[in-house]
Structure 1
Amino acid sequence: MKKKALGAIAVAAAATLALSACSGGSSQASSTGDAKGEISYWLWDSNQLPAYQQCADDFHKANPNITVKVTQTGWDDYWTNITNGFVAGNGPDVFTDHLSKYGDFIKNGQLLSLDDAVKNDNVDLNQYNKGLADLWVGKDGKRYGLPKDWDTVGLFYNKDMISKAGITADQMGSLAWNPQDGGTFEKTIAHLTVDKNGKRGDEAGFDKNNVAVYGLGLAGSGSGNGQTEWSWLTGTTGWTHTDKNPWGTHYNYDDKKFQDTIAWFNGLINKGYMPKLETTVGASMPDTFGAGKAAINANGDWEIGQYLGYKGINVGIAPTPTGPDGKRASMYNGLADSINAGTKNPAAATKWVEYLASPACQDVVASKAVVFPAISEATDKAAAAFKAKGVDVTPFTQQVKDNTTFLFPITENAAKVDGIMKPAMDSVFSGKSPASSLTDANNQVNALFQ
């Protein structure tokens, strides 16, 4: 679950390089038998803070000798603080980890492996949704995180705008896409786009330079992963980010299927159906949707609460469109909690991580109806909690049930890859470079693995 685009990786890249000076072989998390004292726990999602504060309070009641101090900061600052904290030796004991990050953390010896703790404390790895526990096993075969949640991508749409345009919910649920003419997906986006004179994008006289409502919102260029931006499109073409996943060593941004998809997607900007890239800087795509300036947003399930919180906006949720292969696609991302190798209290940190990964905490998270916890039974409880609020989350859960998901690309050199791909993708989406220019960026990326 990324929660935001990964642009912050590039900001922290220089500091990440400095971490190698601190690196050493990763060590094992200790026994939890004598755990006591205060530990720090960091996370980035403000929507989840209440749930995890309750988990911390409940944990303290069950373990009065251990106190957990929870700190939440926004995505960009979060990773900068983590990186700098590792260097300075004042990072958190435990933190919410991301698949795009932990490869470099392992490489620099900054995480404690959890294998001994999992074995000694009988942590059941089969309780999690299929595949989630395996994501957190590094190239060295050691485990560096216990699963906390998972996410997929869907389409949030403005029901009133859809209805006014004569489009039904069933039609929204059966959209199809291709990189040649965009299929029914592009037709729908065009029809939902309205200029300041009331002309729709598919009507004569439409003014693409004076748009009041865009058919599809844009969060940014997506850098090299495009989780919520375009990966749900490229994933339907047979294209994959890397030669294998996890721990691939060759990226495929030079593939024609990828570049054709990006060219089509960028073309929506040129046609006036999607905002220009420069207008997204410092802006929030959900907030733009909430202001009635976009009809559809492709986003992750972790944003359900935010979209439903906009007053006066009647929100619907649809699955991503089917593609050339006749199927839908969504990136499948799973977060975990990891332990800082520099913690001064590994016993308490380990006990807290095990608690975070247990039903005792994940059921609390499920009850808040914010995200889908990693434990299978807790996932079902979360779906029920959403339903109790009148929200049908099937567009997100069905991707998992239908096995139409693919993993977030997990490789080493993630910060360096982002440092290359973000400006390259920005250049394409700002109209300065063609999609074919990504071949050169791909060569630079692959040179990192030689």
Structure 2
Amino acid sequence: MLKNWKKVSLATVLLSGLVLGACGNGSDGEGGSGDVTITYSIWDKIQQPGMEAIAEAFEAENPGIDVKVEVTPWDQYWTKLEAGAKGDSMPDVFWMHSNEIAKYANGGVLMDLSETYANSELTSLDHFPEELVELYSADDALYGIPKDYDTIGLWYNKTLFDAAGVAYPDETWTWDTMLAAAQTLNDPDNGVYGILAPLNRQEGYHNFIFQNGGYVLSDDKTESGFRLDETIEAVQWYADLSVKHGVSPTQSQFAENTNLSFFQSGRGAMGFFGSWMTGEMANNDYTAANADVAPLPKGKQAATLFNGLANSVAASTENEEAALKFVEFLGTEEAMRLQGENGAAIPAYEGTEETFVKAYSQFNMQVYVDQMENAYIKPYSAETARWEDVENSALMPVFDGTTTVKDVAADIVAGVEEVLANEK
């Protein structure tokens, strides 16, 4: 949990590029009508229609408040948000990610939403997964309202499976079943691979770690799971899909074409994709016609990672009352249903998941919901991005086939645990 995020000094905040000064967006929207305009910043264009539907419903119930949905691509979003924290251009309400929450909460730029939700007559934190509420909380303050959740699925190309006479994956599949199918489906001479296994944590090898009985971080967030044989074995098995068995493209091939581009061009029979990728699959003519999704295969046990975004409010918004009203509405059953019905994401509000399932009835979306029974929260700490970089850098030569996980495990342990120790 993030309850023990350390407090940081103003000097530290300034060095990190965040300031405690004014960060309202400077646009109160006041004109002849006296209306207030608040900005709602997101990074996913596919989810934009869903967010705009929520904004329209809110505006209908709150005359005089307009919500402007702004989309900034992921690779620019955090740069823009941090720059906004230095000046007067931070959005009023915006998406927050588990990798970034500690930085922004400690930076003093997020509003505490505890009182808003404690006094709400529209919704309650009891409706959301406890792990996600905890993820966006620190020192008894609530800095983000859960927006959605996601799990990971095994997508497969029905056309390739049919041509090879291979049965579709289902809940009975194990690692060995998947490997055998990948070997049958593999046809690299014609540019088709049995499975797509890039160096990817959330959609890739971290799931296999938990399936093998290992972990990424200890519960108290002091030790790396790469101390464990179970973790080392799982990551090596995943890497071997490419470096030993040749049923996956190499990492150099993934540098030229993403796993999504491989899959959407019919060059990958199977791939691991999070539920947030469903819109991409539905909006692509090839995958819409040829693909479906199944549960992840089992190792020693069934397991998937789950994560979720949150909605946060700028601490010094110039439109505090309107922003708080909107972030409260974002956590209501009405808003969550609109999110799901528009195919944006799996709503975090308990009991509304079926809206997302029905929005993509051409795919077996129930898989993503059902896997929550075996879900582990995406590993995090106060400095998630830092230790993830350590892990990623050490594993690059493993996925290039020039070394093994066992040979780099000690380096990962040392690097990750140094980051964790410095958090305390």
TM-score by length of 1: 0.81
Structure-2 separation of matches of 1:141 and 1:362:
25
Partner of 1:393: 365
CA contact (8 A) 1:16 1:83 kept: no
- The offset of 1:135, in angstroms, is 3.0
CA contact (8 A) 2:159 2:290 kept: yes
- The offset of 1:284, in angstroms, is 3.3
RMSD of aligned residue pairs (Cα, Å): 2.3
Q: What amino acid is the match of 1:266?
A: A
Structure-2 separation of matches of 1:283 and 1:16:
38
Q: What amino acid is the match of 1:221?
A: L
How many residue pairs match? The answer is: 393
- From 250, 261, 272, the equivalent of 1:298 is 272
Residue 308 of structure 1 pairs with residue 282 of structure 2: yes
Alignment of 1:18-33 (within 5 A): 18-19=15-16, 22-23=19-20
SS of the aligned residue for 2:311 comes to: strand
CA contact (8 A) 2:38 2:323 kept: yes
- From 176, 184, 208, the equivalent of 2:177 is 184
Q: Quick one: structure 1 residues 414 and 404, their matched pair in 2 at CA, closer, same or farther if it must change by over 3 Å? A: same
Partner of 1:215: 194
Residue 404 of structure 1 pairs with residue 383 of structure 2: no
Unaligned regions of 5+ residues in structure 2, if any? 1-11, 22-33
Partner of 1:289: 263
- The offset of 1:278, in angstroms, is 2.0
CA contact (8 A) 1:232 1:328 kept: no
Alignment of 1:118-267 (within 5 A): 118-122=117-121, 123-129=123-129, 131-138=131-138, 140-169=139-168, 171-177=169-175, 183-196=176-189, 212-218=191-197, 220-222=198-200, 226-244=201-219, 248-267=221-240
CA contact (8 A) 1:329 1:404 kept: yes
Structure-2 separation of matches of 1:299 and 1:16:
35
Structure-1 separation of matches of 2:76 and 2:227:
32
Q: What amino acid is the match of 2:202?
A: Q
- The offset of 1:342, in angstroms, is 3.5
Unaligned regions of 5+ residues in structure 1, if any? 1-14, 25-34, 178-182, 197-210
Q: Quick one: structure 1 residues 322 and 418, their matched pair in 2 at CA, closer, same or farther if it must change by over 3 Å? A: closer
Structure-1 separation of matches of 2:355 and 2:376:
24
CA contact (8 A) 1:215 1:273 kept: yes
Q: Quick one: structure 1 residues 370 and 116, their matched pair in 2 at CA, closer, same or farther if it must change by over 3 Å? A: closer
Q: Quick one: structure 1 residues 360 and 424, their matched pair in 2 at CA, closer, same or farther if it must change by over 3 Å? A: same
CA contact (8 A) 1:128 1:376 kept: yes
Deviations 1:150-179 (A, max 9, x none): 11111110001111222112x5442112xx
CA contact (8 A) 1:104 1:414 kept: no
Q: What amino acid is the match of 1:242?
A: L
- The offset of 1:303, in angstroms, is 1.4
- The offset of 1:73, in angstroms, is 2.0
SS of the aligned residue for 2:273 comes to: strand
- From 325, 339, 363, the equivalent of 1:365 is 339
TM-score by length of 2: 0.86
Residue 445 of structure 1 pairs with residue 416 of structure 2: yes
SS of the aligned residue for 2:68 comes to: strand
Partner of 1:317: 293
Identity of aligned residues (%): 26
Residue 418 of structure 1 pairs with residue 388 of structure 2: yes
Structure-2 separation of matches of 1:418 and 1:16:
21
Q: Quick one: structure 1 residues 310 and 18, their matched pair in 2 at CA, closer, same or farther if it must change by over 3 Å? A: same
